[in-house]
Amino acid sequence: MLDVAKIRADFPILTVESYPDVPLVFLDSAASSQKPTAVLEAMDTYLRTYNANVHRGIYRLSEDATNAYEAARAKVARFINAQDAAEVIFVRNATEGFNLVAYSWGEANISAGDEILLTEMEHHANIVPWQLLAQRKGAVVRYVPFDENGVLDLSNLAELLTERTKIFSFTAVSNVFGTINPVKQLIAAAKAVGAMTMIDAAQAVPHMPIDVQDFDCDFLAFSGHKMCGPTGIGVLYGKRELLEAMPPFMGGGDMIRRVTLEKSTWNDLPWKFEAGTPSIAEGIGLGATVDYLTHVGMAEIHAYEQYLTHYALEALSEVPGLKVWGPPASQKAGVAAFTLEKLHPHDIAELLDKDGIAVRAGHHCAMPLHKKLGLAATTRASFYLYTTPAEIDRLVEGLHRVRQIFRL
Ligand code: PLP
């Protein structure tokens, strides 16, 4: 079991001194996680002591910056077990990863009548870029439904996933239900009909060991800020031969080999997809993040979050009128989206905030999912390696107070 007290000491924002009046109970890591000192220091050291642009200067500062930035890429590649660091494209966030593939791969490979398969539990980041592509090309977007437990209903998969399907893009972990999807099974089904696969790992990479070679996915995207890293940096993983064949997404500096007034040729991978000055401090910060998570151990983090999820679902079940949406704890990552009778989730979140408890209320960028449930919004508590059972107890106490205030 993780030494959570020791881990919490790594996160300055979680110390009592940060929030002396009502100690912070941060239960919104699925939106964005907190950052450990090691990550803050890596970024600070770069900015204070070797700040310079990368891939350009023939002077030491710039070489140091380039080395640290590229070392971060190599660390990320090892972290997700990519074959080659060139398969790791630094983007701003997971959203940009989807847009890159939907645009670059999609423009070249999708035609009128082709089908793009998603699921009904996707985040908007894995819906809207495909809808835009489908509109441009006259393609069709289809969706694998979920059942009343928030689990994908695969009974009609053979009708949805056919030789017309050019790509199947789905989330490894739902950001609302917490459902852990059977990624390898779905990839195997896609391969059987010759479809490409893209995995939304925004809620997976931060919480469990992920091995892209074991998945054998074609593309996979995630964000730094949900895994204890900085905002402004994310990762698109793609198989080398696919990335080689794809045209650039954006044009500008760094992504070219040669430019004339008539035409341009492209840089090697991964830089072909990284136009302009990248997020250097953030990239270096992501390298430190990977070091941090590796040191703690991804399997240990996953096991601890499983324990927390069981604990939370049990504790929340004692609040009368509260319903947690999604599957039982055994099939779920550390996310509990709930409703409390007919109370508006924003009211719940506001009252909890008065007790120092930070939860998210809204549709969590999953409007189709909520529409299917007949809800406009849910309140979501999400857990990470620094969350304690005592914090979940405070959430439950807070919810009892909410009930009293509304005289339920
Ligand atoms: N996919 C899932 C499942 C998410 O939860 C999120 C963020 O909430 C995203 C994609 C998009 O992440 P970002 O906003 O960092 O691009």
Domain that holds residue 316: 4-30+297-403
Is residue 258 classed exposed, middle or buried when 0-12, 13-18 and 19+ CB atoms within 10 A define those classes? Answer: exposed
Q: What is the pTM of this model?
A: 0.98
**35 is a domain residue:** no
Retrieve residue 399's tokens: 């919810």
Closest by alpha carbon to 276, among 299, 247, 249, 312?
Answer: 249
Instruction: Decide if 276 is inside a domain.
Output: yes
Last residue of a domain, one of 241, 275, 295: 295
Element (H, E) at 266: strand 264-266
| pLDDT tens digits for range 281-334 | 999 999 999 999 999 999 999 999 999 999 999 999 999 999 999 999 999 999
| CA of 171 relative to ligand 1 center, distance in Å | 10
State whether the beta carbon of 99 lies less than 6 angstroms from ligand 1.
no
pLDDT per residue rounded down to tens, the chain (408 residues): 899 999 999 999 998 777 778 889 999 999 999 999 999 999 999 999 999 999 987 999 999 999 999 999 999 999 999 999 999 999 999 999 999 999 999 999 999 999 999 999 999 999 999 999 999 999 999 999 999 999 999 999 999 999 999 999 999 999 999 999 999 999 999 999 999 999 999 999 999 999 999 999 999 999 999 999 999 999 999 999 999 999 999 999 999 999 999 999 999 999 999 999 999 999 999 999 999 999 999 999 999 999 999 999 999 999 999 999 999 999 999 999 999 999 999 999 999 999 999 999 999 999 999 999 999 999 999 999 999 999 999 999 999 999 999 999
* Domain boundary pick from 295, 315, 331: 295
Number of structural domains, the chain? 2
In this structure, are 287 and 303 located in the same domain? no
CA distances from 112 to 19, 126, 130, 242, 379 (A): 55, 20, 13, 21, 40
pLDDT digits (tens, 9 = 90+) for 192-223: 999 999 999 999 999 999 999 999 999 999 99
- Report the chain's terminal Cα–Cα distance, integer Å: 38
Residue 408 belongs to a domain: no
Q: With a 6 A CB cut-off, is 42 part of the ligand 1 pocket?
A: no
Q: What residues contact residue 185 under an 8 Å CB cut-off, 6+ apart? A: none
Rounded to whole angstroms, the Cα distance separating 134 from 39 reads 39
Minimal-distance CA residue to ligand 1 atom 14: 95
Pick from 92, 93, 101, 126 the residue to mutate for probing ligand 1's pocket: most ligand atoms within 8 Å of its CB: 93
